[in-house]
Structure 1
C-alpha cells in the first residue's frame, strides 16, 4: 500500500514545493505596495530562489538516495516553514532577500522524486513515471494565478501564511505515508561525482534540459506581456493563452515520458529539437497572431515531450549515480529557467524586439539536434564494440591486403598475442607448417567466390604451442560489392579433438 502511494504523494509534494518556490514573484506587485523595492533590485529578488533552488538540487538528489525521499521531503518542508513565515512578516527588501534564500529549497525538491520513484517501477515505465512526477511543476502556475486572486481578498501577508497550513498538511502526509523501507544507495558523493562528471552524456542531457525546461519558463514569464504589447490583446486574453501554454507543456510531460518508454528516446529528442528549430525560426519573423499562437503551442508541446524524454534517459544511462546525475541535470534546467528570461529582456531592451532571442533558441536547438544524432550513432558503435570485446570467440579483422586491423580480448586469451603485437602484421604470424600452400589457395578461392570459408586449421600460439581451431572467415563488402575487409572468428577445439580420438 505505502509503495503504491509514492507516485501521487511525491507528485503532490512537488506541486507544493513549486508553489512555495515562487511565492515572492507571484505576489510581488502586492508586496511592492507595502515594501519599497528598488526597480533595479527586482530581478535579483526574484532570481535568488530560482538560482538557489537549482543549485540545491544536487545535494537533495544525492540525499534522496542516502536517507530516502520521505525524510528529504519532511526536512525540506519543515525548513520551508521558517522562510514562509518570515516573508509573511517582512517589512524590508533585506527581509525578502533572506527569506528568498531558503525558499530555494522548494524548487530543489524536484530532484528528490526523479531519484526515488524509479526504484518502485521497472525500467520500461521510468519515462512515464518521471513524466507524471515532473508534471508537478504546474505548482508554479497555480501560485502565479491563484495567489494574486487570494491576495486581493485578504492581503499578501495572510495569503503567504496560508502556505504554512499547506506545508503542515504535507509534513503530516509524508510522515504517515512516506516509505520508511525505500531502498538506499550509500555511495559517497565524491565517488558519485567522479563517476559522472567525465561522461559527456551528463552534460548533453544538462544542455537539453536547459533548453526544454528553460524555454517553458521563459515563455511562461514573457508571454502575457508580449501578447499585450505586440498584438494588443487584453490582459485576460493574454493570461488565458499563457495558461494554455502551461497546460499543454505540463500535460505532454508524462506523455513524453510514456513515449520514451515505448519508442527509441533519442529518436524522439531528434524530433523535438528539429521542431524546436523550425518553430523558433518562424517566431523570429514576427508572424500574425494566428501563426504566433501556433508556434507557441508547438514549443509548449515540444517542451513537455522533451522534459519527459530527458528524465527517461537520465536514470537509464546513470542507474548507479541516479541521485547526483538527476541533481545536476535538473539544476541546469532550473538555471535554464532563469538565464533565458534575463537574456530575452536584455535583447528586447537593446533591439526593441525578441527576434534575435528566438534565432538564438533555433541555433541552440539545431546544435542539440546534431548532438542527439551523434549520441545515437555513438551508442550503436559502443554496442558493437561491447559485442566485439565480450564474445568468447577469438576475432581477427584484416584489410584486403591481409594486414590485421583489430583483434578482441578473446584472441589474446586464446593465442597469447596482445593486440599491439599483431596489428599491422598478417595472420601468417599464427601459421604452422601443418597446412600446405594448396590448403590456403583453396581457402581464399572459396572466400573470393562465396564470401566465406569455414573449417579446421592448425595455428600456433605466442609460446610456440600449436593448437587446432575451428575458423570462420567472412568477407565484408561495400555498396558496390567489393571486399573491404575480412573477419575471422575461431575457437580452440584441440581438447575436443583429443577426446574424440580417444
Structure 2
C-alpha cells in the first residue's frame, strides 16, 4: 500500500515545492508596493531562487538514493520554513534576496522524485510515471494564480505565512506515508559522476532540458511582471494568464512522457525544437497581445512535451546511473530558468525591447534540433554497428572493385585474419584453390543479374586449414542504382557437411 502511495505523494510534494519556489515572482507586484525594488534588480530578485534550486538538485537526487526520498522531503520542507518566514516579515530588499535564495530548496526537490520513483515501475512505463510526477510543476501555477488573489484580500505578508502551515502538514504526511523501505543505492557521488561525465549524451540532454525546462521557468517568473508593465494588464489578469501558461505546459509533460513510451523519443524531440524555434521568432517581433499569447502557448506546449520526453530518455541511456544523471540534467534545466530573465532584462535595458533575446532562444532551439537529428541517425548507425559486431556469422564488406572495406569480429574468429591484415586486400587471400575459374565466373554473373548469390565454397584460414563455408553475397546499391558495396556473410559448415556425408554412407 505504501509503495502505491509514492507516486501521488511525491507528486504532491513537488507541487508544494514549486508553490514555495515562485512565491516572490508571483507576489512581486504587491511586494514592491511596500519594499523598494529598483527596476534593474527585478530580474535578479526573481531569478535568485532558481540558483539554489538548480545547484541543490544534484545532492538532493544523490541523497534520495542514500537515505530515501522520505527523509529528503521531510528535511527539505522543514528547511523551507526559514526562508518563507523571513520573506513574510521582510522589510528590505536584502531580506528578500536572502529568503529568495533559500526558496531554491523548493525547486531542488524535483530531482528527488525522478530518482526515487523509477524504483517502483517497469522501464517501459517510466516516461508516463516521470511525466505524472513532473506535473508537480503545477505548483507554480497554483501560486501564480492563487497568491495574488489571496493577497488582495489579506495582504502579501499573511499570504506568504499560509505556506508555513502547508510545509508543516506535508512534512507530517511524509513522516507517515513515505516509504521507509525504499531501495537504497550507496555508490559514492564522485564515482557516479566519473562514470557519466565523459558521455556526450549527458551534456546533450542537459542542453535540451536547459532549453525546455528553462523556457518554462523563465516564462513563469518573467510573465507576471512583463504583462503588467508592457501590456498594462491588471495584476490579477497577468497572474491568470501566467497560470494558464503554466497549466498548459504542465499538462503537456505527462503527454510527452506517454508519447515517448509509445514512439521514438528523439523523433518527438525534433518536433518540440522546431515548435520552440517558430514560437520564439514570433515573439521576437513584439506582436500584439493576441499573437503574443499564441507564441507563449506554443512555448508552453513545446516546453511541456520536451520536459516529459527528456526524462524518458535519461533511464534509456543511463540505466545504472539514472540518479546522478537526473540530478545533473535537472540542475541544468533549473539554470536554464536563471539566465534568460537576466538576459532579457539586460537586453531590454540596452535596446528597449526583447526581440534579440527571443531571437537568441530561437537560434539555440534550432541548434538543438540539429543535434537531435544527428543523435537520431547516430543511434541508427550504432544499432547497425552493434549488429555487425555481435553477429555470429562472419561478415566482410568490399568496395565495388572488390577491395575489403571492413570485417567483423566473427570474420577474424573464423578465418584467423585480423581487420588490419585484410582491409584494402582482395578476398582472394581466402581462396583454397578447390573451385575452378568457371565457378567464380558463374557466381559473379548471377550477382550481376540478381544482385545476390548463395552457395557452398571451400576457403582457407590464415593457418592454412581448409574449411567449407555457406556464403551469401549481396550487392548494395545507392539511390541511383550504382553498386557501392558487396557484403558477404558466411558460416563454417565443415562439421555439418562431414556429419551429413557419414550419415549418407551408413544408410
Pairwise TM-score range, normalised by the shorter structure: over 0.9
Separation in structure 2 between the aligned mates of residue 233 and residue 31 of structure 1, nearest angstrom: 17
| Superimposed CA distance per residue, residues 436-492 of structure 1 (whole angstroms, 9 cap, x where no aligned partner) | 222222221221121111111122222222222111111111223222111111111
Separation in structure 1 between the aligned mates of residue 168 and residue 127 of structure 2, nearest angstrom: 31
Structure 2 vs 1, CA of residues 136 and 386 (structure 1 numbering), >3 Å: closer, same or farther? same
CA contact (8 A) 2:49 2:101 kept: yes
CA shift, 1:20, in A, is 2.2
TM-score normalised according to structure 2 size: 0.92
Separation in structure 1 between the aligned mates of residue 100 and residue 320 of structure 2, nearest angstrom: 33
In the alignment, which residue of structure 2 is the partner of 1:382? 382
Separation in structure 2 between the aligned mates of residue 47 and residue 289 of structure 1, nearest angstrom: 25
Q: Which shows bigger deviation, 90-99 or 170-179?
A: 90-99
CA contact (8 A) 2:144 2:242 kept: no
CA shift, 1:429, in A, is 1.8
Separation in structure 2 between the aligned mates of residue 19 and residue 459 of structure 1, nearest angstrom: 73
TM-score normalised according to structure 1 size: 0.93
- The correspondence of residues 296-375 of structure 1 with structure 2, limited to 5 A, is 296-375=296-375
How many positions carry a matched residue from both structures? Answer: 502
CA shift, 1:330, in A, is 0.7
Separation in structure 2 between the aligned mates of residue 33 and residue 291 of structure 1, nearest angstrom: 31
Structure 2 vs 1, CA of residues 85 and 224 (structure 1 numbering), >3 Å: closer, same or farther? closer
| Superimposed CA distance per residue, residues 2-61 of structure 1 (whole angstroms, 9 cap, x where no aligned partner) | 222111101001011112223344445555666666666655444333111101111111
| Superimposed CA distance per residue, residues 76-115 of structure 1 (whole angstroms, 9 cap, x where no aligned partner) | 2233234434554556555554444433221111011112
| Superimposed CA distance per residue, residues 338-378 of structure 1 (whole angstroms, 9 cap, x where no aligned partner) | 11011111111111111111211111111111111111111
CA contact (8 A) 2:144 2:243 kept: no
Separation in structure 2 between the aligned mates of residue 461 and residue 448 of structure 1, nearest angstrom: 27
Separation in structure 2 between the aligned mates of residue 190 and residue 227 of structure 1, nearest angstrom: 44
In the alignment, which residue of structure 1 is the partner of 2:448? 448
CA contact (8 A) 1:396 1:487 kept: yes
Q: Which shows bigger deviation, 426-435 or 89-98?
A: 89-98
Separation in structure 2 between the aligned mates of residue 439 and residue 331 of structure 1, nearest angstrom: 66
Separation in structure 2 between the aligned mates of residue 48 and residue 239 of structure 1, nearest angstrom: 20
Secondary structure, counterpart of 1:434 in structure 2: coil
Separation in structure 2 between the aligned mates of residue 283 and residue 40 of structure 1, nearest angstrom: 22
CA contact (8 A) 2:29 2:225 kept: no
In the alignment, which residue of structure 1 is the partner of 2:505? none
In the alignment, which residue of structure 2 is the partner of 1:404? 404
- The correspondence of residues 12-411 of structure 1 with structure 2, limited to 5 A, is 12-28=12-28, 43-88=43-88, 94-151=94-151, 153-411=153-411
CA contact (8 A) 1:118 1:126 kept: yes
Q: Please report the RMSD computed on the Cα atoms of aligned residues, expressed in angstroms.
A: 2.3
Separation in structure 2 between the aligned mates of residue 80 and residue 287 of structure 1, nearest angstrom: 40
CA shift, 1:264, in A, is 1.7
Structure 2 vs 1, CA of residues 430 and 188 (structure 1 numbering), >3 Å: closer, same or farther? farther
Q: Which shows bigger deviation, 254-263 or 177-186?
A: 177-186
Structure 2 vs 1, CA of residues 359 and 96 (structure 1 numbering), >3 Å: closer, same or farther? closer
Q: Which shows bigger deviation, 95-104 or 391-400?
A: 95-104
Structure 2 vs 1, CA of residues 280 and 101 (structure 1 numbering), >3 Å: closer, same or farther? closer
Structure 2 vs 1, CA of residues 24 and 277 (structure 1 numbering), >3 Å: closer, same or farther? closer
CA contact (8 A) 1:6 1:179 kept: yes
Separation in structure 1 between the aligned mates of residue 78 and residue 238 of structure 2, nearest angstrom: 37
Q: Which shows bigger deviation, 30-39 or 267-276?
A: 30-39
In the alignment, which residue of structure 2 is the partner of 1:480? 480
Secondary structure, counterpart of 2:488 in structure 1: strand
Secondary structure, counterpart of 1:281 in structure 2: helix
Q: Which runs of 5+ in 2 are unaligned?
A: 503-507
Q: Which shows bigger deviation, 374-383 or 435-444?
A: 435-444
CA contact (8 A) 2:47 2:337 kept: no
Q: Which shows bigger deviation, 302-311 or 176-185?
A: 176-185
Separation in structure 1 between the aligned mates of residue 89 and residue 35 of structure 2, nearest angstrom: 11
CA contact (8 A) 1:63 1:323 kept: no
Secondary structure, counterpart of 1:458 in structure 2: strand
Q: Which shows bigger deviation, 182-191 or 251-260?
A: 182-191
Separation in structure 1 between the aligned mates of residue 479 and residue 38 of structure 2, nearest angstrom: 69
CA contact (8 A) 2:474 2:486 kept: yes
Secondary structure, counterpart of 2:491 in structure 1: strand
Structure 2 vs 1, CA of residues 237 and 43 (structure 1 numbering), >3 Å: closer, same or farther? closer
CA shift, 1:67, in A, is 2.8
Q: Which shows bigger deviation, 245-254 or 212-221?
A: 212-221
Q: Which shows bigger deviation, 230-239 or 65-74?
A: 230-239
Structure 2 residue 499 is the aligned partner of structure 1 residue 499: yes
Separation in structure 2 between the aligned mates of residue 35 and residue 282 of structure 1, nearest angstrom: 36
Secondary structure, counterpart of 2:484 in structure 1: strand
Separation in structure 1 between the aligned mates of residue 318 and residue 220 of structure 2, nearest angstrom: 31
Q: Which shows bigger deviation, 132-141 or 85-94?
A: 85-94
